[in-house]
A and B are shown apart, each in its own frame.
Chain A
Amino acid sequence: MDSLINLAFFLLKILIITHVLLGAVAYTVWLERKVIGHMQNRWGPTRVGWFGLLQPIADGIKFILKEDLLPPGVNKFFFLLAPLLAVALGLTSLALIPFGETVTIFGRVIPMQISGILASNGTVYDPGVGLLIILGITSIGVYGIALSGWSSNSKYSLLGSLRATAQMISYELALGLSLVGVIIMSGTLSLREIVNSQAGPFWHWNFFLGGQFVAFFIYLTSAFAETNRIPFDLPEAETELVAGYHTEYSAMKFAMFFMAEYANMFTAASVATLLFLGGWHSPFEGLGIPALPLPAIVASFVPVFWFAFKLFLFIFLYIWIRGTLPRFRYDQLMAFGWKFLLPLAIANIVVTSAIVALRAHS
């Protein structure tokens, strides 16, 4: 009986988190259009609802009602598989991300992580190699894009997906290596333990006292490239490739690529938050500031608020950079990834491990 209730809570958790994420994706698109609009001295969406707030819903209805074209000459099976793969893998990595300690609802302690399990002694266990599993899922995520371009049987799509594949393989190296410094500092691969190793006021975060700010910038740059965002959006460069790998996709299948891209943005931002900025810990923790007199249920959601706030900062940064920087040229992109970011990431590993080794000896 108890295990059945646990299972029900577990499924409920998956349902809520997935829908919150998809809602966040829809409203990130709204935010992006609005912010970019204001940056370019325009208004952005204003017509549908107050401040255009119903625009994402109108877009969703439009995507569902539009004709779902299947162009002739495509490889049907892979053409349909590609968007499914992209969106499924984009949502799967979310299962590993912890966004809070625990909350107590109806006398039940629930870990704020889909893959988190409450042990009988009250501590929460999450996968010991959570970070590696996220990296694995993002590395498989390439197949959605690669297959979409290949199965479309169109030159723009193929060029877009070839670019995407090459770009993602190249930047995955710098991305993975930039995280090694954090792993050395924390001594674990479990996301929950990495976050807890940064507990305390904000200078305890890996970004500050951990000395991982170089790694942070490498990670951030590679994450932009991994998620195909400006200035690394060569796979879908509108001026050269129509729309890149999803040129031949229409209606909901196109929207699925869109959802996958934004879900990947959220994953990349979550990993940055967890690894470098202390995850759900408040920046003022341990400073002796009295807690606000909140009801217990609200107080237990405060860590989730901090996590969401840091996540929002990253999402805003994504949008801000989109409004600021032009697109890289292809050779610049490859040279930057292989000749600058990769050596820098390796140097960061050497310096970090030297510091940790010296500290262990003294």
Chain B
Amino acid sequence: MVHHLLFFVFAALAVGGALNLLVQKHPISSALSLILVMGSLALLYLLLGAEFVAAIQIIVYAGAIMVLFVFVIMLLNAGEEEHTKGSRFVMVFGIPAVAVLVGMIVYVLANRSQMNTGIELGAFVGSTSGVANLLFKEFLLPFEVTSVLILIAIMGAVVLARREP
């Protein structure tokens, strides 16, 4: 009961934040709406029992990546967005495309209702050790490869930043 109530509150917050992200003109407002979306998603993970993923979602996305976004926006002192021809194009074709996508998802979910009856909010616990076992036993190779990928990205950033004129 409480689980469902919380689910609807935070699902509504996530969707509302995402819509606000699109509607807002100022980059800072959009960035903060994105933080709201990420915080709500973290709470949805928590409701599903994935406490570790929820905490990491907050630390990494809301606490690190978005801080850098906000920092850059502040540093560049970015002003309000202006409407261009491109944005009208997006309005005309984007909204019907989104409507089609949403309709498709609803159609698929409605016709496969037996698929998602087994999952109950708050019924299972995704512990830290569970995540660690998956990462460092079953998916060790993809995990390490990803870390190399991130290392390459860092090196790329250093090379770009230090390029002599």
Q: Which residues of A contact B (CB under 8 A)?
A: 78, 127-129, 132-133, 135-137, 139-140, 142-143, 146-147, 149-150, 158, 161-162, 165-166, 168-169, 172, 176, 189
Is the pair B51, A78 in contact by a Cβ cutoff of 8 Å?
A: no
Q: Could you list which residues of chain B lie within 8 angstroms of chain A, going by C-beta atoms? A: 28, 32, 35, 39, 51-52, 54-56, 58-59, 62-64, 67-68, 70-71, 74-75, 125, 127-128
Contact of B59 among A128, A136, A161 (CB under 8 A): A136
CB distance from A189 to the nearest CB of B (A): 6
Q: Would B67 and A143 count as touching, CB distance under 8 A?
A: yes
Is the beta-carbon distance between B59 and A143 smaller than 8 angstroms?
A: no
Give the distance in Å from the alpha carbon of A189 to the alpha carbon of B130 in the complex. Answer: 13
- For B35, what are the chain A residues with a Cβ–Cβ distance below 8 Å? 140, 143
The complex places the Cα of A142 from the Cα of B69 at a distance, in Å, of: 12
Report the Cα distance A142→B62, complex, angstroms: 10
For the residues of B in contact with A, the DSSP-based class is helix
In the bound assembly, the distance between CA atoms of A165 and B58 in angstroms comes to: 17
Contact of B58 among A139, A147, A168 (CB under 8 A): A139
Which of B52, B62, B68, B128 contacts A140, CB < 8 Å? B62
Contact, CB under 8 Å: B55 / A129: yes
Query: Which of chain B's residues have a CB closer than 8 A to the CB of A140?
Result: 35, 39, 58, 62-63
Also in contact, A132 and B70, with CB within 8 A (given A139-B62, A139-B64, A140-B62): no
Chain B residue contacts of A169, Cβ below 8 A: 64, 67-68, 71
- Apart from A132-B55, A146-B70, 20 more pairs, CB < 8 Å: A78-B28, A128-B127, A128-B128, A129-B51, A129-B55, A135-B59, A136-B59, A137-B58, A139-B67, A140-B62, A140-B63, A147-B28, A147-B32, A149-B74, A150-B70, A165-B67, A165-B70, A168-B67, A169-B67, A176-B59
In contact, A133 and B58 (Cβ under 8 angstroms): yes
Docked pose: A172 CA to B136 CA in angstroms: 25
B80: shortest Cβ distance to chain A, in Å? 11
B64 touches A127 (CB 8 A): no
Q: Judging by beta carbons under 8 Å apart, are A129 and B128 in contact?
A: yes
B59 adjacent to A150 (CB under 8 Å): no
Point out the residue from A135, A139, A161, A172 that lies within 8 Å of B74, measured CB to CB: A161
Complex alpha-carbon distance, A128 and B52, angstroms = 8
Asked if A165 and B55 make an inter-chain contact with CB atoms under 8 angstroms apart, the answer reads no
Complex interface: chain B residues within 8 A of A176 (CB): 59
**Which residues of A sit under 8 angstroms from B127, Cβ to Cβ?**
128
Cβ contact within 8 Å between B62 and A150: no
Q: Chain B residues with Cβ under 8 A from A149's Cβ?
A: 74
A-B contact pairs, 28 of them (CB 8 A): A128-B52, A128-B127, A128-B128, A129-B52, A129-B54, A129-B128, A132-B55, A132-B56, A133-B55, A133-B58, A136-B58, A137-B58, A139-B59, A139-B67, A140-B39, A140-B58, A140-B62, A142-B67, A146-B74, A147-B32, A147-B70, A149-B74, A150-B70, A162-B71, A162-B74, A165-B70, A166-B71, A189-B128
